[in-house]
Amino acid sequence: MKKDFSRRPLAVFLSYFGPHWRPFLIDMLCATAVAVIDLVFPIVSRSSMQRLLPERLFTTFFVVMGIILIAYVVKGLLYYAITVVGHGMGVLVEADMRRDVFSHMQQLSFSFYDRNRTGVLMSRVTNDLFDITELSHHGPENVLICTLTIVGSLIVMFFIRWELALVLLVILPLCLIFTLKQRTRMTDASVEVRKKTAEINAAIESGISGVRTAKAFANETEEMRKFDSSNDIFKTAKKGYYRAMGLFQSGMEFSTGAMQVIVILVGGILIMKGRMDYIDLVTFTLYVSAFVSPLRKLVMFMEQYTQGSAGFSRFLEIMRTEPEIRDAEDAVELTGVKGGVDYEGVSFRYGDGPWVLKDINLSIRPGESFALVGASGGGKTTLCHLLPRFYDATEGRVLVDGRDVRSVTQESLRRAIGIIQQDVFMFAGTIRENIRYGRPDATDREVVEAAVRAEIHEEIMAMPDGYDTYIGERGVMLSGGQKQRVSIARVFLKDPPILILDEATSALDSVTEQKIQASLDQLSRGRTCIIIAHRLSTIRNADRIAVIEGESIAELGSHEELMAKNGIYASLKHAQDLAQD
C-alpha cells in the first residue's frame, strides 16, 4: 500500500508497523506484563508486612514470596522475548524504510543527483536508518511500560497516602517540561551530527573513488587534509550534541534523586505526626523506585529517540522530494516505434541559469544516421538528454514518431532508446551480469549472441572464468575498449529502435577505435542513430550533420554539403586534419 509521506512524521512512522502487527502485538503484550509485575510487587509486600507476618501466617508468606519470585523469572523471560521479537520487528521496519527510500531515489530526476553528492545520499540510505531499528523497537515498548508504571504507581500511591502522591504529582510536570525542552535541543544537535556524518561519508567516498588519481598526482596528503577538515567539523557538532545530552541526563538524575529525598522527608514528617506508619513508608518508597525506574529508562531512551528521529526526519526529507520528471496522468505506452525524432522550437536551461539551447528545430527520419558536432559545452549532450526525458525542454517539445515524449510513459520511452556514452558505467559483478543488464530476462545464449555481435566474445572466452569473470568496481579489470564493447553488447541485447552514441570512441586509441567503430556500425544498421562526435572522421558517412554553436544550429547538411559551404564545419575538419598531420 502506497504511503502518504505528507502526513505528520509520527503518523508516517507508525504506518510502518502495520505489516508487522504480529511481532508488534507480542512486544506490547510482553511490555504490559512487565509493567504489571513491577506494580504488583510493592502492594503484595505491603500486604505481607501488614497482615501475614503480624498474624504469623508464615506458610502463606513463603508461598506468596515464591509466587513473586516466579513472577520475576517470568519477567526475565518476557524481557528476552521483548529483546528478540522487538529488535526483529525493528529490523523489518528499518528494511521497509530502506526499500522505500531506495525505490523513491530510483524515481528521482537527473537534476536531483546533479545537486547531491553520492556519499551524502549513501549516508541517507544507510547511516540515517541504522538507529530506526532501536527507535521502532524501544519507542512503543518504552512508552507503554513507562506510562503504565508511572500512572499505575501514582494511582496506588494515592490510595496509600494521598499527601505523598500529591507531592510527586507536582514534581512530575516539572520533569516533563525539562525533558521536552531538552529533547528539542538534542534533536537539533543530532540532526546537525547527521549532516556532518554525511559530509564525512561523502569525503570518504570521494577519496576512495579517486584514489588512483590521488596517487597519480602524489596528493595523498591533500586528500587527508580534506578529510581532516570534514572530521573536525563532525567533532565540533558531536561535542554540541553531547553537551545537550549531558545537561539532560544531569537534570534527570537530580530530579529523580530529589523525588526520593522529598518522599522520605515528607513521610518522616507524617510519621512524626502519627498519620503514617513505617510499613506504608517502606511500601511508598518501593513505588517511588518503580516510579523513578521508568524515568531513568526514558533518559536512556531519549538518546535513541533523538538519533532515530533525526535519521527519520532526513528520511522524510528525501521521501517528500518530488521527481521533476513525471509521467502525465494520461500517459500511454510507446509502442511500434519506427524511430522518427523531431525537435520543435526546443529551448533549455538548467533552473534559472543561462540558456543552453535556444529555439532548436530538427527532424530526424526513421533509420537516419544524424550527427551532432560543435565545441565542448555547446549543448550536444543536453539535446540528446531531452529525448529520453532525462530533462524536460524548458520551451518547445520533443517528439518520437509524432508523439510528444511527455505524453508517453518514461519506461516505454527509454525502452525504445539505447545510449552508449564515452564514460561507460560497469556494475561490480560478472561480464554476463553486465551484458544482461540490457535485458534482464535474456537467456545465456542471447547474451553470447550479443557479445559476438559486439566483437567481444573471443576476449571474454580468453578470460579466466569466461562470462562469469568478475570485473571489479566500475569494471576496473577491463580495458577501456573492452568496457565499451560490453556496453555495445548490452545495447544489442536491448535492441532499441533509436540509438544515441555520445562520443562513444573519443577516449580510445586509433586501433581500438576502429574495432569499436565496426561494432557500432553493425549496431546502428536499421536504427535511427544520433551521434555526438569530436572526431569528424567517425561521422563522415552520417546522412546529415548538425553543427551546434551559440545555443542553436549554425549549419545542417551532409559531409559533402557542409564542406562545400566552407563554414564552421569545414574549419573544424581542416583544423583536425592539420592536427593529425
Q: Which amino acid is at 495?
A: D
Query: In the numeric block, which cell numbers belong to residue 569?
Result: 564545419
Instruction: Indicate if the pLDDT at residue 399 is higher than 90.
Output: yes
pLDDT at res. 130: 73
Most confident of 131-140, 169-178, 295-304, 477-486: 477-486
Distinct helix (H) and strand (E) counts, the chain:
20, 10
Pairing label, strands 417-421, 498-502: parallel
Q: Which residues contact 335 (CB under 8 A, 6 or more apart)?
A: 412
How many other C-beta atoms can be found within 10 angstroms of the C-beta atom of residue 229?
A: 12
Query: 367 or 521: which carries more pLDDT confidence?
Result: 367
In a 3-state reduction of DSSP, which class is residue 549? strand
Asked whether 418 and 498 are in contact (CB, 8 A), the reply is: yes
Which position has the higher pLDDT, 40 or 406?
406
**pLDDT value at residue 342:** 93
pLDDT of residue 539: 80
CA angle 177, 178, 182 (to 5 degrees): 120
Question: What confidence category does residue 403 fall into, taking pLDDT thresholds of 50, 70 and 90?
Answer: very high
pLDDT 10s digits, 263-319: 777 777 777 877 777 777 777 777 777 666 676 677 667 667 777 777 788 788 888
Instruction: Say whether pLDDT at 470 is over 80.
Output: yes
The bridge status of strand 369-374 relative to strand 528-532 is parallel
- pLDDT at position 439 is 86
Residue 581 has pLDDT above 60, yes or no: no
Distance of CA 47 to the CA centre of its chain: 56
Return the C-alpha cell found at 562: 557542409
Decide which of 554 and 56 is more confident: 554
Which is nearest to 369 in space by CA: 525, 257, 186?
525
Residue 406 reports pLDDT greater than 80: yes
Choice among 155-159, 414-418, 445-449 with the minimum mean pLDDT: 155-159
Q: What is the CA radius of gyration of the chain?
A: 35
Contact of 1 with 300, CB cutoff 8 Å: no
The DSSP line for 246-284 is HHHHHHHHHHHHHHHHHHHHHHHHHHHTTS--HHHHHHH
DSSP letters along 22-77, please? HHHHHHHHHHHHHHHHHHHHHHHHHHIIIIITTTT-HHHHHHHHHHHHHHHHHHHH
Cell numbers linked to 392: 524536460
Domains of the chain, by residue range, sit at 9-319, 337-416+496-505+530-581
Is residue 243 classed as helix, strand or coil in its secondary structure?
helix
Mean pLDDT for 81-86 is 84
**Cα 123 from Cα 446, distance rounded (Å):** 38
Per-residue burial over 257-273, b if 16 or more Cβ lie within 10 Å, else e, is eebeebbeebbeebeee
Domain 9-319, classified CATH 1.10.10.10, yes or no: no
The strand order across the sheet containing 355-364 reads 355-364, 341-349, 395-400, 403-404
Give the pLDDT score at 207: 65
Percent of the chain with pLDDT over 70: 86
> How far, in Å, are 118, 389, 500, 528, 556 from residue 360 at the CA level?
33, 16, 18, 19, 12
Give residue 511's pLDDT.
64
498 closest CA partner among 431, 403, 377: 403
How far is CA 542 from each of CA 315, 421, 512, 524, 560, rounded to the nearest angstrom? 49, 18, 21, 11, 11
CATH code of the region 337-416+496-505+530-581: 3.40.50.300
| pLDDT confidence of residue 400 | 92
The answer to whether the CB of 261 falls within 8 A of the CB of 292 is no
Handedness of CA 402, 405, 408, 414 (dihedral sign): positive
What pLDDT does residue 299 have?
65
Q: How far is CA 457 from CA 258, 486, 508, in A?
A: 79, 9, 19
Which DSSP symbol is given to 375?
A: S
DSSP code for 475: G
Of 110, 314, 321, residue with least CA distance to 198: 314
- Mean pLDDT, all residues of the chain: 80
- 36, with CB counted inside 10 A (0-12, 13-18, 19+), is middle
Percent of the chain with pLDDT over 90: 7
**pLDDT(215) > 70:** no
Among 67-71, 515-519, 546-550, 564-568, name the one with the lowest average pLDDT.
515-519
Phi/psi at 210 (5° precision): -100, 20
pLDDT in tens, 32-73: 888 888 778 777 777 777 777 777 777 887 888 888 889 889
Instruction: Tell me the DSSP string of 476-507.
Output: TTS-HHHHHHHHHHHHHHH--SEEEEESTTTT
Residues in the chain: 581
* pLDDT-based confidence at residue 346 (cuts at 50, 70, 90): very high
Euclidean distance between CA atoms 98 and 106, whole angstroms: 12
Determine how many CB atoms are found less than 10 A away from the CB of residue 67: 11
Nearest to 30 by CA among 151, 186, 137: 137
The number of beta carbons lying within 10 Å of the beta carbon of residue 498 is: 24
Of the spans 192-201, 229-238, 530-539, which averages the highest pLDDT? 530-539
Residue 507 has pLDDT above 70, yes or no: no
Q: What is the pLDDT of residues 157-197, one digit of tens each?
A: 777 777 777 777 777 777 767 766 766 677 677 767 767 77
Would you say residue 80 has pLDDT above 90? no
| Residue carrying the nine cell digits 513507562 | 146
The pLDDT of residue 30: 87
Question: What is residue 219's DSSP assignment?
Answer: -
- How would residue 396 be classed by pLDDT, with cut points 50, 70 and 90? very high
| Helical H segments across 116-161, by residue range | 118-125, 127-130, 132-160
Minimum mean pLDDT among 68-82, 193-207, 422-436: which range?
193-207
Predicted local distance difference test score (pLDDT) of residue 244: 74
